[in-house]
Structure 1
């Protein structure tokens, strides 16, 4: 059985929950964020648009609007005064990680990466379960980029301009909680490789 895992966020942290589409980022966020911790998930935007658009309109037609709106919300929230912020963003692209590092610099927020590591097969099953399957070639690009990220994370890599990077597997996500604490520098997280007794 896995003990509860606490990831403590400092006052201005920008935590990016990342991983390939279908990995379970939205599910993790719904379980892990506690109290009044602000969470920005593209699924929030999608649900809001879904209420206003024709029910028969496939998601692929308004996906770019969802992503653009989500990223605008992230920038606005990060630049505002306030406490820690948790963001859903696949971050498989190096350019996306670079832009998030720049946002951290401009907003004076330490940017932290929490990578949710799942197999491509499990991620594809997650897409099917949620009813939003991305195109096969787009998914393959995410998977290829993610494999490089996984290898580098295993060797202790932290993206340029980021404060920290951690990787977790699904076996830990049910126990994981994000908590805030005014004591700087206190982050407690079981490493992804550790197996519960």
Structure 2
């Protein structure tokens, strides 16, 4: 399916969930959404969200991981991340706010634990007359923890438990054929199908 453009909205309106798990050989290399739409990439820490955004999203999207890495380069190595985490989050949400105000189509990294972020994105697309879409990476806790180890950066057990609970709720909604409130569609990806995806585009 090289070069195939797949529009999640091509399915009947009642079917808002598309499951690409377990089908890497048949998974599209490109997903296309409408100009003005917003795409949220969610999943467990270490599950591959940042990797997917950097590979497939135009301009790299809005990724909190990028913000964290920029701040880490500026801070003394001995200073723990917890000490400047609030600054990283403020910088990330400020960059997101500026991008939303510009009216541009955007791909956003979202951990899923901050419900107000998705509410903000949903309110933005309502004002635009566009749509919000969720790309949900379904990885096992073991895969996610291995991903954290490989990048040399992890989250606390408490934070990981919060992320896991949030992702479990999103997966449960998808299993019932529902997208989260405010989202027009949900696309489920596992690691193989996510690795197949190389392009997210926005077309008229």
Shorter-chain TM range is 0.7 to 0.9
Query: Is contact 1:79-1:106 (8 Å) kept?
Result: no
CA deviations 1:47-97 (Å, max 9, x no partner) are 221222112222222222212211111111011133x21111112444433
Question: Where do 1:140-159 residues align within 5 Å?
Answer: 140-159=161-180
Q: Which residue of 2 aligns with 1:8?
A: 32
Instruction: For 2:66 and 2:108, locate their aligned partners in 1 and report how far apart those are by CA, in whole Å.
Output: 11
2:122 is matched with which residue? 101
User: Structure 1: which 5+ runs fail to align?
Assistant: 183-197
Is residue 78 of structure 2 the alignment partner of residue 78 of structure 1?
A: no
1:88-127 to structure 2, matched below 5 A, reads 88-127=109-148
Alignment partner of 1:52 out of 74, 81, 97 = 74
Q: Is the 8 A contact 2:173 2:180 kept in 1?
A: no
* C-alpha RMSD of matched pairs (Å): 1.9
Number of equivalenced pairs: 179
Q: 1:119 Cα deviation (Å)?
A: 0.7
Q: Hey, which of these two has a bigger chunk of helix by percent? A: 2
TM-score, normalising length: structure 2: 0.79
Question: Is 1:66 paired with 2:88?
Answer: yes
> Whole-Å Cα distance in 2 between the matches of residues 5 and 92 of structure 1?
28
Offset of residue 107 of structure 1: 4.9
Please, which runs of 5 or more residues in structure 2 have no aligned partner?
1-23
Secondary structure in 2 aligned to 1:113? strand
TM-score by length of 1: 0.82
Write the distance in 1 (CA, Å) between the matches of 2:33 and 2:178. 20
In structure 1, what is the Cα distance between the partners aligned to 2:74 and 2:40? 28
Q: Give the match for residue 41 of structure 1.
A: 63
